[in-house]
């Protein structure tokens, strides 16, 4: 059902607009609680929303970008994949890490089609959003209670401390402004990653190292052209 609905939505955009220039992967849902207390079915659901959903959309829309040899894919990631990782957020962090890995691989695989990639990496915004307020909880209450006995109050402590270290003027709308900025840039000039992290949890430094190692390896492997989208490419015969 979801696949059919996505295909219909893509077809409607193409009918109304004639083409698709930008794809933004922004689906996301947080859960809070000790990792063991989440059922496998819950873990699957978290991965489905935060990572697998991107594959459904990609399979519906990327062929149109590849045919045009142009376009931009924006992935809304998370500093949690590389920065400070407080406890009780494991399923969400793992799913966002999976999304980030997909984004990195897709960037190289789309480069020769002339399709650009940007990974936007927001930090923790505890005000101006309902990210924490609407977070899911672990289904196995018995196991959760055992953790609460040993880690009393930790569930509330995580959100409170993240709010404390975030600047009072942290504005989640800045993420949207950064997305708009990269969309407006010319192909070949966009950054691979854009961090929006008022709390500065360290992800930017770790990502910089990881992306540098990736670039060095690609050059050693003779794949340097995959580090940027091909420009001026003619469609294949």
Q: pLDDT by residue (tens digit) across 92-149?
A: 999 999 999 999 999 999 999 999 999 999 988 766 666 666 789 999 999 999 999 9
- Report how far Cα 131 is from the mean position of its chain's Cα atoms: 15
Instruction: Indicate if the pLDDT at residue 235 is higher than 60.
Output: no
Instruction: Indicate if the pLDDT at residue 229 is higher than 50.
Output: yes
- How confident is the model over 127-142, as pLDDT tens digits? 666 666 678 999 999 9
C-alpha to C-alpha distances, 51 to 48, 70, 76, 165, 212, nearest whole angstrom:
6, 24, 11, 28, 24
Structure tokens at 154: 């930790």
Tell me if 121 is assigned to some domain: yes
- Which of 22-31, 51-60, 83-92, 120-129 bottoms out in mean pLDDT, i.e. has the lowest? 120-129
Instruction: Please say whether the beta carbons of 13 and 22 come within 8 A.
Output: no
36/68 Cα distance (integer angstroms): 46
Is residue 156 very low, low, confident or very high in pLDDT (cuts 50, 70, 90)? confident
Average pLDDT, the chain: 91
Tell me if 10 is assigned to some domain: no
**Total domain count, the chain:** 1
Sign of CA dihedral 180, 183, 186, 192: positive
Residue holding tokens 């600047």?
Answer: 167
What pLDDT is recorded for position 206? 96
Q: CATH no. for residue 61?
A: 3.40.50.720
133/156 Cα distance (integer angstroms): 11
- Which of 5-9, 85-89, 101-105 bottoms out in mean pLDDT, i.e. has the lowest? 85-89
Tell me if 235 is assigned to some domain: no
Tell me if 191 is assigned to some domain: yes
Q: Is 75 helix (H, G, I), strand (E, B) or coil?
A: strand
β partners of residue 32 = 137
Instruction: Please say whether the beta carbons of 36 and 147 come within 8 A.
Output: yes
Which helix (H) or strand (E) is 175 found in, with range? Answer: helix 173-183
Tell me if 7 is assigned to some domain: no
What pLDDT is recorded for position 237? 43
Give the residue numbers spanning the domain of 189: 16-227
Structure tokens at 145: 């209670």
* Phi, psi angles (nearest 5°) of residue 114: 80, 15
Q: Which residues are catalytic?
A: 92
The residue-averaged pLDDT of 199-204 equals 89
Tell me if 120 is assigned to some domain: yes
CA nearest neighbour of 167 among 121, 123, 119, 130? 123
Tell me if 45 is assigned to some domain: yes
223/206 Cα distance (integer angstroms): 23
Tell me if 11 is assigned to some domain: no
80/111 Cα distance (integer angstroms): 26
């Amino acid at each position: 059902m979801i696949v059919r609905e996505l295909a219909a939505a893509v077809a409607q955009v193409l009918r109304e607009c004639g083409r698709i220039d930008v794809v933004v992967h922004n689906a996301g849902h947080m859960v809070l609680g000790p990792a063991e207390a989440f059922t496998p079915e819950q873990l699957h659901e978290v991965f489905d929303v935060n990572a697998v959903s991107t594959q459904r959309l990609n399979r519906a829309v990327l062929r149109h970008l590849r045919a045009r040899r142009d376009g931009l894919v924006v992935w809304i990631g998370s500093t949690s994949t590389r920065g400070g990782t407080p406890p009780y957020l494991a399923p969400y962090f793992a799913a966002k890490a999976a999304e980030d890995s997909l984004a990195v691989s897709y960037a190289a695989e789309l480069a020769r089609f002339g399709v650009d990639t940007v990974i936007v990496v927001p930090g923790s915004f505890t005000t101006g959003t309902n990210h924490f307020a609407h977070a899911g909880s672990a289904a196995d209450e018995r196991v959760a209670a055992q953790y609460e006995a040993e880690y009393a109050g930790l569930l509330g402590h995580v959100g409170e401390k993240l709010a404390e270290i975030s600047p009072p003027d942290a504005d989640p709308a800045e993420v949207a402004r950064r997305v708009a900025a990269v969309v407006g840039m010319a192909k070949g000039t966009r950054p691979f990653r854009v961090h929006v992290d008022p709390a500065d949890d360290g992800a930017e430094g770790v990502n910089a190292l990881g992306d540098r190692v990736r670039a060095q390896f690609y050059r050693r492997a003779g794949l340097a052209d995959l580090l940027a989208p091909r420009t001026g490419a003619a469609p294949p015969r």
